[in-house]
Structure 1
Amino acid sequence: MARVLADDSQRHFTVGEVVRTLGNSGGAIGNALEKLVARGEAVRIADNPRTYRANAATAAAAQTVSVTPPAQRQRGRPGTGAKSAAPPAATAARQHKPAPPSASAPAPTGAQSGRPSPITRPNGMTYHPRELAQMPDVEALRNLRKAGVPVLLYGPPGTGKTSVIEAAFPDLITLAGDGDTEVADLIGEYTQREGGGYEFVYGPLVTAMQEGRALLIDDATLISPKVLAALYPAMDGRRQIQVKAHKGETITAAEGFYVIAGHNPGVHGAVLTEALASRFSVQIQVGSDYDLAEALKIRPKAVTIARNLARLQEKGEVGWAPQLRELLAFQKVEAVLGAEAAFANLIGIAPLEDRDVVADLVRKVTGHRARPLSLGRQL
């Protein structure tokens, strides 16, 4: 990366341009460029699309770096008639084979030693991987991305759908969908410059396609089907879209581009249409991990109440059960206001039609009379 920037220090490079030079995936290239910026060895000068240039430290960083053009890598692949060394890690990844271990590699941790380590998400919070198809969920999602298989995660709000996606894909771009989402929110639109005039600013779909990044369409089922139709050509064999608003420009997806979506069944206005469902070959149900809640030292009685409500929800006797998000909030409220207030707040956040059942369950488990958190007499 540093060598490419240093060899043409006056040029501004987009992620896609570096991808075409090196041949790696857009996600890997984007991450490496961001690392250079974080170390002060390159400068990011634009966000849409992400654009970089060399600075005074780039040349020094590139001194020990060698760049093999894609054509030479192709000639050197086994079976092409040319002798070559073992493929580098990036090439091995593209062939879906593990790279050979490095002599300086750290000792195995997490999944390599039998249990996956927590993963730090962009917001600084940690994600604890869960099992999916007899492997850590983040590994399964990454494998599906390599195979080009789109995934839809569905389940109640607060169960960790966004968390696992952020943990699996560090290069993630997220579009939060709702009933007001328009095609321009996906593809882009003209915006006024500060100095006057207009420029076309690409939306998250185009950016993800150009840079070979993962794109999360969160709450996809709240978006109008007519708007989602703009996404479909990028997901099928064409892997292209036409930006009619920008001179009919054709955008072709770079290697690594991937679409994943989230769906909250039961949320008002969420409709999983046949057209949308057919685009996602794998659909994964996500529920709260109450074992994790216990491991995170959330008060056991709160977890017991949540488990019982979840069972009642499965039977159709209540419409709501606390998910991991609500239990984490319980833990924070308890730390500030105490356990009694935290249980009272748990009742108060329940939907009105389920509140009596929740209150009764809190009373049975805790042994105390419970009602929603509320103001008392004047002090």
Structure 2
Amino acid sequence: MATPTPPPSPQPAPPAALLPAAPGKARPGELRARVAAILAVSPQGRYTVTELAKQLGHSGGAVGNACETLVTRGEAERVGHKPRTYQATSTTGAAAQPTSSTTPPSAAVPRPRPAPATAPASGGRPAPITRPNGQTYHPRALENLPDVEALQRLREASVPVLLYGPPGTGKTSLIEAAFPDLITVAGDGDTTVGDLVGEYTQTEAGGYEFIYGPLVTAMTEGRALLLDDATLISPKVLAALYPALDGRRQIQVKAHKGETIEAADGFYVIAGHNPGVHGAVLTEALASRFSMQIQVASDYDLAKALKINPVAVRIARNIATRQAGGELGWAPQLRELIAFQKIADVLGADVAFANLVGIAPPEDRDTVAEIVTKAIGRPITALALGRQL
């Protein structure tokens, strides 16, 4: 008797991003899964929001928000800022499965906020705080309080805060450390009211249902909401947020039958602003909603603690001092110093110093080269390819 042929082994389902997309816009969980799947297919690849949006057929604002949610959950890493660029982490593959996110506000149960994570370490200093992506944040002084504790107190008092400073100074890191229940909106010129409040999306059955956005989720669950790069968002879009920030603490969702959303206890909005970034405009209307505004500069002491080349740290301090005096328009921030050390570890300090000169804006590059050359005692110019080998 012939031996029966065994059935073929089941094949693993393809990542969510590689499945045919349903007509219309994907649900928020589905879009996040599709973004994660694209990143996971090429773990070493780096993708801009524009590249991802073209592949997925969604707006840059929606895709940017999905990327930032993945970063907050530790399921992706932001590796560039101008333009925003993302890369997979070890957990990105697990995020490539769609989840449902259709709970209406009337059925939402406010989340209890996590306890503040500012327990002092030995010697009375606050202990480092682990952020959602696994990296640690070292609290800094804000007058006589740790910055994390100060933000938590301001939240309790319902005082909205705007953090401003150059990219790479740690604004987002501080906010993530202060608020473990954080929801992040990555602002840019493509962000729409629907990206904040919600919009209709087509279901698998061919009908339509309204999917609430991050602003409504934060309001109904009493969570903190970060408007990252808030000053890149159109003032007309931000106007939808303003009623939630004043005494009314409510908004009307005009796209959903004019529904009124009330803010639950604990709802809090904090914003980030990068002065000098092209397109970033701090309007009077936006500034007036944030009665507390805090400048965030790079923590060069932390750079030393992270064992970054002390000469590079000294150069960065020198450039920052000249920037403050109006001689230069740019200074390397902590992000650039961390990158410096990674490059130095791989290709040597000379290459890292040359790269530091090369990343300075063209109008500042000659002065930065002079500062670096004087500090290390030999001529340093920006990196450039040489003759053919």
- The TM-score, its normalising length taken from structure 2, stands at 0.70
- 8 Å contact kept, 2:101–2:211: no
Q: Is 1:141–2:125 an aligned residue pair?
A: no
The SS at the match of 2:227 is strand
Q: Which residue of 2 aligns with 1:265?
A: 275
When residues 367 and 137 of structure 1 are mapped into structure 2, their CA distance, relative to the original with a 3 A threshold, is same
CA separation of 1:348 and 1:49: change in aligned 2, threshold 3 A: farther
Determine if contact 2:104/2:212 at 8 Å carries over to the other structure.
Answer: no
- Structure 2 residue matching 1:47: 3-state secondary structure: coil
Match of 1:278 among 269, 288, 298: 288
Distance 1:155 1:369, change over 3 A: same
What do the CA deviations read for 1:92-134 (whole angstroms, capped 9, x no partner)? Answer: x8xxxx9xxxxxxxxx963575011111111111111000131
- Looking at structure 2, the residues matched to 254 and 109 of structure 1 have their Cα atoms a distance apart, in angstroms, of 27
Structural mapping, 1:204-283, within 5 Å: 204-283=214-293
Residues 1-379 of structure 1 mapped to structure 2, 5 A cutoff: 46-49=100-103, 110-111=120-121, 113-379=123-389
Instruction: State the distance in 2 between where 1:139 and 1:239 align.
Output: 24
Aligned position for 1:64: none
- Partner of 2:269, secondary structure, is strand
1:273 shift after superposition: 1.3
8 A Cα contact 1:193 1:199, kept in partner = yes
User: Do the aligned residues in 2 keep the contact of 1:49 with 1:207 (CA within 8 Å)?
Assistant: no
Q: How far, CA to CA, are the matches of 1:152 and 1:374 in structure 2?
A: 40
Structure 1 stretches of at least 4 aligned residues deviating more than 6 Å after TM superposition = none
Please give the per-residue CA displacement for 1:318-367, whole angstroms capped at 9, x wherever unaligned.
11000001001111111111111111111111111111111111110011
Q: Which position in structure 1 is the counterpart of 2:33?
A: none
Question: After alignment, is 116-125 or 318-327 more displaced?
Answer: 116-125
Whole-Å separation in 2 of the counterparts to 1:347 and 1:370: 8
How far apart are the structure 1 equivalents of 2:102 and 2:222? Answer: 14
Structure 2 counterpart of 1:236, one-letter code: D
Cα distance change on mapping 1:264 and 1:48 into 2, 3 Å: farther
SS in 1 for 2:163: strand
- How large is the RMSD of aligned CA atoms in angstroms? 2.3
Letter in 2 for 1:372: A
Per-residue CA deviation, residues 125-145 of structure 1 (Å, 9 max, x unaligned), is 111100013111000000100
* Counterpart Cα distance in 2 of 1:323 and 1:253: 37
**Matched residues in 2 for 1:111 and 1:194: separation?**
52
> In the comparison of the two structures, how many residue pairs are matched?
285
Structure 2 vs 1, CA of residues 216 and 320 (structure 1 numbering), >3 Å: closer, same or farther?
Answer: same
Separation in 1, partners of 2:358, 2:383: 6
Give the superposition deviation at 1:201. Answer: 1.1
Going from structure 1 to structure 2, the CA distance change for 1:50 and 1:131 (only over 3 Å counts) comes to farther
Q: Is the 8 A contact 1:133 1:140 kept in 2?
A: no
TM-score for both structures, normalised by structure 1: 0.71
How far apart, in 2, do the equivalents of 1:270 and 1:45 lie?
34
How far the C-alpha of 1:182 sits from its partner, in A, is: 1.3
CA distance in 2, matches of 1:126, 1:234: 31
Separation of aligned partners in 2, 1:165 and 1:48? 27
Q: Give the deviation of 1:50 after TM superposition.
A: 9.4
SS at match of 1:357: helix
Q: CA deviation at 1:212?
A: 0.7
Higher alpha-carbon deviation: 369-378 or 116-125: 369-378
Question: Once the 2 structures are TM-superposed, how far is the Cα of residue 49 of structure 1 from its aligned partner?
Answer: 4.1
The CA distance in 2 between the partners of 1:119 and 1:191, in whole Å, is 38
2:87 aligns with none
Aligned residue in 2 for 1:54:
none
The letter for the 1-side match of 2:330 is W
SS at match of 2:132: coil
Tell me the distance in 2 between the aligned counterparts of 1:157 and 1:360. Answer: 24
Q: Could you say what secondary structure the match of 2:133 adopts?
A: coil
Amino acid of the structure 2 residue aligned with 1:219: D
CA contact (8 A) 1:48 1:207 kept: no
**Match of 2:108?**
none
Distance 1:151 1:49, change over 3 A: farther
Unaligned runs of 5+ in 2: 1-72, 74-97, 106-111
Instruction: Write the deviation string for residues 289-343 of structure 1: whole angstroms up to 9, x where unpaired.
Output: 1111111110011011101110110111111000001001111111111111111
Would the aligned equivalents of 2:219 and 2:262 in 1 still touch at CA under 8 Å? yes
- Report the Cα offset of residue 378 of structure 1: 2.3
Determine what percentage of the aligned residue pairs are the same residue.
75
